[in-house]
Structure 1
Amino acid sequence: MNNFDWSQFTWGQLVNPEFYIKLGGLYLVLFIIFAETGLFAGFFLPGDSLLFLSGIYSKELIQEFVSIDSDFLNVFLLSSLVATAGIIGNEIGYWFGKKSGPYLFQKKDTFLFKKKYLFQAKEFYDKHGGMAIILARFLPILRTFAPIIAGIVQMSKGKYFLYNVIGSVAWSFSLIFAGHYLNHFFLKEFNFDLKQHIEMIVLIMVLVTTAPVLYKIFFKKETNKGEMNLND
Structure 2
Amino acid sequence: MFDSLQQIQTLEELIIWGGYALLFVIVFSETGLFAGFFLPGDSLLITAGLIAASGELDIVPVMVTLSFGAAMGDSTGYFIGNQLQRNFLSKKETFFFRREHLEKTERFYEKHGSKAVFLARFVPVVRSFTATLAGVVNMPYQVFLFYSVSGSLVWVVTFTSIGYFLASLFPEVVDFVHYIILAGIVLILLNTLRQIRKHTSRTGKKP
- Fold-level match, TM-score > 0.5? yes
Greater relative contact order (Cα < 8 A, sep 6+): 2
Aligned partners of 1:146, 1:163: CA distance in 2, in Å?
11
Q: Deviations over 1:62-106 (max 9, x none)?
A: xxxxxxxxxxxx323321221111111111010011111422221
| Structure 2 equivalent of residue 170 of structure 1 | 154
Cα distance, 1:85–1:144 mapped onto 2, change above 3 Å = same
Cα distance, 1:200–1:155 mapped onto 2, change above 3 Å = same
Larger displacement relative to structure 2 (157-166 or 198-207): 198-207
Aligned partners of 1:206, 1:8: CA distance in 2, in Å?
16
Aligned partners of 1:174, 1:129: CA distance in 2, in Å?
23
Show structure 1 runs of 4+ deviating over 4 A.
2-5, 204-207
Q: Is the 8 A contact 1:83 1:172 kept in 2?
A: yes
Q: Deviations over 1:12-39 (max 9, x none)?
A: xxxx633531441221111101111211
Length, aligned pairs only: 184
| Structure 2 equivalent of residue 220 of structure 1 | none
SS of the equivalent of 1:168 reads: helix
The question of 1:203 aligning with 2:197 is answered no
Shift, 1:185, TM fit: 1.9
| Structure 2 equivalent of residue 30 of structure 1 | 24
| Structure 2 equivalent of residue 117 of structure 1 | 101
Shift, 1:178, TM fit: 1.0
**Structure 2: 5+ residue stretches without partners:** 188-207
Which of 130, 138, 143 is the matching residue for 1:159?
Answer: 143
| Structure 2 equivalent of residue 6 of structure 1 | 6
| Structure 1 equivalent of residue 49 of structure 2 | 55
Shift, 1:147, TM fit: 0.1
TM-score, with structure 2 as normaliser:
0.79
CA RMSD of aligned residues (A): 2.5
Shift, 1:206, TM fit: 8.7
SS of the equivalent of 2:83 reads: helix
Q: Which amino acid aligns with 1:48?
A: D
Cα distance, 1:180–1:8 mapped onto 2, change above 3 Å = closer
Q: Is the 8 A contact 1:36 1:45 kept in 2?
A: yes
Superposition map of 1:1-232 within 5 A: 6-7=6-7, 17-18=11-12, 20-58=14-52, 59-61=55-57, 74-187=58-171, 191-192=172-173, 194-195=174-175, 197-203=177-183
Shift, 1:199, TM fit: 2.8
**Structure 1: 5+ residue stretches without partners:** 10-15, 62-73, 208-232
Equivalent pairs: percent with the same residue?
35
Q: Is the 8 A contact 1:20 1:29 kept in 2?
A: no
| Structure 2 equivalent of residue 228 of structure 1 | none
Shift, 1:108, TM fit: 2.5
Q: Deviations over 1:144-188 (max 9, x none)?
A: 10000100110001100100111000001111111000112222x
Cα distance, 1:183–1:110 mapped onto 2, change above 3 Å = same
Q: Which amino acid aligns with 2:24?
A: L
